[in-house]
Structure 1
Amino acid sequence: MDKNIEKWSTLKEVQEYLGVGRESILQWINKRNMPAYKVGRLWKFKLSEIDKWIRSGGASEESNTEDNEQA
């Protein structure tokens, strides 16, 4: 098997990787275009895409005024 192929990560693995809860991740998928893929009933992720999304400001508070209005 090619070692350059990145494995798919589960929702639980992404929670641990980012140190956030399940609900935060599901909200980011729905409201902030977090890169995620539905495989059957499960969400799957590529950590390299998550890193890129975070670096581009995807998870920053300022990027979503809707959340700030509710606070």
Structure 2
Amino acid sequence: MSREYEAMEVEKWVNLEDIADHLSVSTDTVRNWIKSGKIPYYRAGKRYKFRISEVDEWLKSGKMNDENEG
């Protein structure tokens, strides 16, 4: 392995339930954000996967505040 690879911090993927818990919102709220294309996510088959660092950046950018939860 290269030194660059060894130095990289490998971030674990989390699922929808984990990211909802991380953000202290319901899974339905996260699903609504996914449908509206607001939250950064990936698909792994039928499952949604998230990187906490990307979601945290999204949160810090203020894009979450643009949402109307109704």
**Can you give the 5+ residue segments of structure 2 that lack an aligned partner in the other structure?**
1-5
* Deviation, structure 1 residue 42: 0.4
Question: What are the residue-to-residue correspondences of 1:1-71 with 2, within 5 Å?
Answer: 2=6, 4-60=9-65, 63-64=66-67, 67=68, 71=70
**Root mean square deviation, CA, Å:** 2.0
Contact persistence 1:9–1:47 (CA under 8 A): yes
Larger radius of gyration: 2
Say which SS state the counterpart of residue 48 (structure 2) adopts: strand
**Number of aligned residue pairs:** 65
Query: Unmatched 5+ residue regions in structure 1?
Result: none
User: Sequence identity, in percent?
Assistant: 30
Q: Which ranges of 4 or more aligned residues in structure 1 deviate by more than 3 Å? A: none
Cα pair distance change 1:57/1:32, threshold 3 Å: farther
TM-score (norm 1): 0.78
TM-score (norm 2): 0.79
